[in-house]
A and B are shown apart, each in its own frame.
Chain A
Amino acid sequence: MRAIGRNLCVLGLVLLATAGSAAAQPITVSAAISTKDVVSELGRGFAASHPGATLLYNWGSSGSLQKQIEASAPIDVFISAAALQMDALEARRLIVPGTRKVIARNLLTVIKPADSRVDIVKPGDLLEARVGRIVVGNPRTVPAGQYAEESLRALGLWDRLQPKLVFAEDVRQALEYVARGEVDAGFVYTTDAAARGRAVKEAFRPAEDSYRPVVYPAAVVAGARQPALAAAFIDLLLSREGQAVLSRHGFQPPPAGTR
């Protein structure tokens, strides 16, 4: 009896394994980590409305995700937090022509720990001695850091703030440094600040004309194993339903005519 039971178990496992491989391959989404909450929420809805479709996520700074795609990582959808990284992939023909669309906009903000008593209300305050360390995403790979650098350079503060700067590997790490109180201020997106509203508070928002508009282009990656589903997922992001979810998370609708 026990031998039969064991054989049945093995049979069951084999059936499970073959069922798994027969099902559709997963769609792998490489997305800027600032979109983590909203993209995973939309992904759940997508999986529910597309039976058999499963999504895998690869979060990170857009720059590191771009490098992974250039190194032929098996990715279906790329969502970048800036045009720059998508431009680089497009120039190397690593995205499917015609699939690139801006799905949302965002804004840069300067945050401080929620319990901070350090007075920071304008960019010039960052120079004051009362403000110790300031975190920005590493501008080499993190768009939020690139926007922050652009804004601080426009204000003539970038070079003078160098001794105070701490670089984060992505914008959520910058957010965590502030939430943990390790630094006095940090540059993140307004959506990040809202995602950790209890641990951080906004100090001020850099003038919107001091940095390029924060846009999120999405595209199907060349060589995607699931190009049709990948395109369908991008359509969902642009649909009324997708835009409603993005808006609930604090993202702004894509500006007309951008890509």
Chain B
Amino acid sequence: MSPDSISALRLSLQVAVAATALNALVGIPIAYALARRRFWGRSLVDLLVTLPLILPPTVVGYYLIVLLGRRGVLGAPLYQLTGWTVAFTWYAAVIAATVMALPLLVRTVRAAIESVDRDLERAAYTLGRSELRTALEVTLPLARNGILAGLVLAFARALGEFGATLMLAGNIPGRTATVPLSIYTAVQTGESAEALALVAVLTALSCLVLIAANRLGARAA
């Protein structure tokens, strides 16, 4: 494999790990809230979190540009304050992958939390545990396999993200060209051997991830 392909592979893993961590941080609380709480705007949150699953990645990418671009709703003030903009950096690839992976994580984790026996939570409450401690010590440990399966799926989705990444992060070799983008470039430029190597690596990784997710899912059920 060429140095560009190796750097693409390293970058992809880096982006997917970061996006999975962000998903855990943001997605698990959202999944818990959706599963266990009734609050104002709940269906809106549910809708927004699920949309990236349904929308074409390019549409998500477009929204991200409108939001985070140098002239974006959040991007413009950020640029004025710091002179820095997220577009065309590897952080942009992480954000795109995080948003695209979020629905998979939230849906899987939410289902896992919903299947936890509420009586066990109520028992914890009667023993004086707060909701936070109950969630951390009872609910989430019982939903562990579902959460792991969700994280594995999110990782796989982040690893394969193409459209939103291309729009927000561009396709810069060594900086934002992840494996899917490098495959696209390799095919466009007729480097079939390079494309084949990357395709094989990505397929193998995805198979491993799916097997892991299935095992975890089987144990969860």
Given contacts A167-B170, A167-B172, contact A67 B70 (CB under 8 A): no
Decide if A37 is an interface residue (CB 8 Å cutoff): no
Q: Is the CB of A182 within 8 A of B88?
A: yes
Q: Which residue of A lies closest to B79 (CB)?
A: A181
Stretch binding the partner chain, chosen from A73-81, A133-141, A148-156: A133-141
Q: Is the CB of A141 within 8 A of B170?
A: no
Question: Chain A residues with Cβ under 8 A from B173's Cβ?
Answer: 167
Chain B nearest CB from A91 CB (Å) reads 14
Question: Chain B residues with Cβ under 8 A from A133's Cβ?
Answer: 88
Query: How large, as a class, is the contact surface on chain B?
Result: 10 to 19
Contact of B70 among A70, A140, A181 (CB under 8 A): A181
Q: Which residue of A lies closest to B75 (CB)?
A: A182
Question: Chain B residues with Cβ under 8 A from A70's Cβ?
Answer: 190
Q: Which residue of A lies closest to B76 (CB)?
A: A181
A55-96: contact bitstring with B at CB < 8 Å (1 yes, 0 no)?
A: 000000001100100100000000000000000000000000
Chain B nearest CB from A159 CB (Å) reads 14
Given contacts A64-B188, A181-B70, contact A138 B171 (CB under 8 A): yes
Q: Which of B78-109 contact A (CB under 8 A)?
A: 85, 87-88
Binding site secondary structure of chain B: loop
Q: Is the CB of B71 within 8 A of A181?
A: yes
Q: Is the CB of B170 within 8 A of A166?
A: yes
Contact of B188 among A67, A166, A168, A181 (CB under 8 A): A67
Q: Is the CB of A166 within 8 A of B70?
A: no
Contact of A166 among B172, B185, B187, B190 (CB under 8 A): B172
Decide if B189 is an interface residue (CB 8 Å cutoff): yes
Q: Is the CB of A140 within 8 A of B185?
A: yes
Given contacts A138-B171, A166-B170, A167-B170, contact A182 B87 (CB under 8 A): yes
Question: Chain B residues with Cβ under 8 A from A182's Cβ?
Answer: 69-71, 85, 87-88
B residues with CB within 8 A of A: 65, 69-71, 85, 87-88, 170-173, 185, 187-190
A residues with CB within 8 A of B: 63-64, 67, 70, 133, 138, 140-141, 165-169, 180-183
30 CB contacts below 8 A, A to B, read A63-B188, A63-B189, A64-B188, A67-B187, A67-B189, A67-B190, A70-B190, A133-B88, A138-B185, A140-B189, A141-B185, A141-B188, A141-B189, A166-B88, A166-B170, A166-B172, A167-B170, A167-B171, A167-B173, A168-B170, A169-B171, A180-B69, A180-B70, A181-B69, A181-B70, A181-B71, A182-B69, A182-B71, A182-B87, A183-B88
